[in-house]
Amino acid sequence: MNGQDTADASGHVYDIIVKDRAARGPAPHLDDYRRVCAEFSWESARAMLTGLPGGGLNIAHEAVDRHAAGPRAERVALRWLGRSGARRTLSYRELRAETNRFANALVALGVQPGERVFVLAGRVLELYVAVLGAFKAGAVVCPLFSAFGPEPLATRMTLGDARVLVTTDTLYARKVASLRERLPGLRHVILLTESGAPAGVPGTHDWSTLLAECSTDFEIVPTNADSIALLHFTSGTTGRPKGALHAHGAVLTHHVTGHYVLDLHDDDVFWCTADPGWVTGMSYGIIAPLSNGVTNLVVEAEFDAQTWYGVLQDEAISVWYTAPTAIRMMMKLGLEALAAYCLPRLRFMASVGEPLNPEAVVWAMQAFGMPFHDNWWQTETGGIMIGNFAAQDVKPGSMGRPIPGIEAAIVKRSTGGAIEIIGDPDVEGELALRRGWPSLMRDYLHEHERYEKCFAGEWYLSGDLARRDADGYFWFVGRADDVIKSAGHLIGPFEVESALMEHPAVAEVGVIGKPDPMAGEVVKAFVALKAGFAPSDELRKQLLGHARKRLGAAVAPREIAFRENLPKTRSGKIMRRLLRARELGLPEGDLSTLESDER
């Protein structure tokens, strides 16, 4: 492979990174890509899991109890670094006891299997205990991002019919208390406090008081591979967020990708920097590392490049899974910042969230002596589907090749819902996966029709545009829809537009993703005002503050621009695509549906 080149969209040429077969560390699990793919089947991979003693399958049993009952019982399962320097650890044995306590607490509260337990907190250990304990009780876990504002929280808790919410006293006071009346189905709110002392807020339970009375023994509620375990909200172009449902069987994908893609070995210390309020932090910040029985690091503090280098060194991280925005911030800090650190244990680095630009992959060779291994997946796929592997050559800028057990193709949608598979290399089309892997979503909550639209026969259609080269490597091209990807988070333009529409001055809004060197894209809103309102700097700030209060910093626009009129189709639909093309100076494309143009 040496001597071949790869080129990115702008024609920049990057050398293929050829792996040194005598590299440090243990032999990679996926040593021979073709052989492992040929021999792999999901049925035989099931032997990597244990299953419940009486038959059936439960994520928490695979992630906690089976290790607690074996030689890994005293191994640290979760190692937590607090914001102010505090440290706590839970061994697999202790994690079994704590999660049993919480499962007992849910049963005592009358929570039924299948009912929804929402979690909204920063990266504190109790969050991990709550998630795993809820699995044990047969509840469906739905994570919420702690930087969401009240509106995204209310929407998701309403759509998901939240029965229980585990959150902190601070987040409750700031964002949830005012929503309680709108959430009649939310029967129990359980509050965590930083000190561990009861918060004593009316209408809530205290975590510590509740758990103190509960036994550390619990028999996992019988679940099987098809029992729903997780509800992950994700954003679409139109309408409300989609609630992707995943079953306990998904743990097999989490385990297998932890094994083959993240290359987790028994003595690894693993750090996934993603927040468990999003799907990566759930699948790879909780389930995959624990299922593989390694020590999983949890860092409470927000991103800070130098703190992170210190964590990599001091915690002797061997496998690290992070995201492009953070990597680009580290690049900006420069190589000198890394010079003071010594990272002999670091063996494998991966990235997900949005495509990793080739410069970042190459920079990592200088900075860490190894590349970041980009991979691709979505909330709907539940786990990594396409990736770059420890023992395989890396083409900078490519998302890699399908994991064992996954067949990916580039397809073109034709009329009548059919698709055509594109066999030729280097042709752009939609990335599709042949269904049949265990972590594929089972449905969109209450929206089965929307779910059905994601499939054409045996193929799941991702909505991502990509191409495949002659060596079988996939390259991301763009989104087929208007969804915005900012700092690795998927943002639905409709949700942002709806919040701005609530402001009395606003007549219409179109929201787009504007390219940004750091975050990939940032949210930009175009606003037309109602009669009687005039554009002003004061009003712009008012709208910005209004949106941020409702949506939170992660979802709200960073930029607002006024227009007299927004481009619309005959049916009155705002043409975001045209707003975006004009913002970026791109060709405007087909304007045949344009009825009323931008002014």
Interface with other proteins (CB under 8 A): 147, 174, 302-307, 325, 329, 332-334, 337, 486-487, 518-519, 522, 541-542, 544-546, 548-549, 552-554, 558
- Smallest distance, other proteins to C-beta of residue 463, A: 25
Minimum distance from residue 485 beta carbon to other proteins (Å): 13
Question: What's the rounded Cα separation, in Å, for the pair 194 and 170?
Answer: 9
CA-nearest of 298, 299, 288 to 263 is 288
- Quote the CA–CA distance of 524 and 204 in Å, as a whole number: 38
How far is it, in rounded angstroms, from Cα 356 to Cα 379?
18
Cα separation, 248 vs 245, in Å, equals 10
- Of 518 and 581, the one with the shorter C-beta distance to other proteins is 518
Contact 493, 484 (CB under 8 A): yes
In 3D space, the residue among 404, 367, 572 whose CA is nearest the CA of residue 38 turns out to be 404
Supply the minimum distance, in Å, between the C-beta of residue 64 and other proteins.
30
CA atoms within 13 A on the CB side of 531: 0
Closest to other proteins by CB, 3 or 517: 517
Question: Are 233 and 143 in contact, with CB atoms under 8 Å apart?
Answer: no
Tell whether the torsion through CA atoms of 336, 341, 342 and 348 is positive or negative: negative
> Residues 6 or more apart from 573 whose CB is under 8 A from it?
none
* CA 387 – CA 260 distance, rounded (Å): 10
User: Nearer to other proteins by C-beta: 109 or 518?
Assistant: 518
Task: Quote the least distance from Cβ 382 to other proteins, whole Å.
Answer: 26
Q: Which residue, 203 or 334, has its beta carbon nearer to other proteins?
A: 334
Minimal distance, residue 579 CB to other proteins, in Å: 21
- Shortest distance, CB of residue 324 to other proteins, whole angstroms? 13
3-state SS, residue 540: helix
What six digits make up the tokens of 151?
A: 């509106």
Nearer to other proteins among residue 553 and residue 591 (C-beta): 553
**Least Å from the CB of residue 553 to other proteins:** 4
**Which residues are bridge partners to 408 per DSSP?**
433
- Smallest distance, other proteins to C-beta of residue 325, A: 8
Counting beta carbons within 10 angstroms of the beta carbon of residue 48, is it exposed (0 to 12), middle (13 to 18) or buried (19 or more)? middle
- Rounded to a whole number of angstroms, the minimum distance from the CB of residue 589 to other proteins is 29
- Specify the DSSP element, H or E, that contains 365: helix 358-368
If residue 105 lies in a helix (H) or strand (E), which one and from where to where?
A: helix 92-108
Beta carbon of residue 549, minimum distance to other proteins (angstroms, whole number): 5
Torsion on CA atoms 199, 200, 203, 207, rounded to nearest 10:
50
Give the DSSP letter of residue 318. S
Nearer to other proteins, 429 or 552 (CB): 552
| Residue pair 215/100 in contact by the 8 Å Cβ criterion | yes
Q: Which residue has the tokens 């009003």?
A: 539
When the beta carbons of 17 and 554 are compared against other proteins, the nearer one is: 554
Q: Cβ closer to other proteins: 339 or 421? A: 339
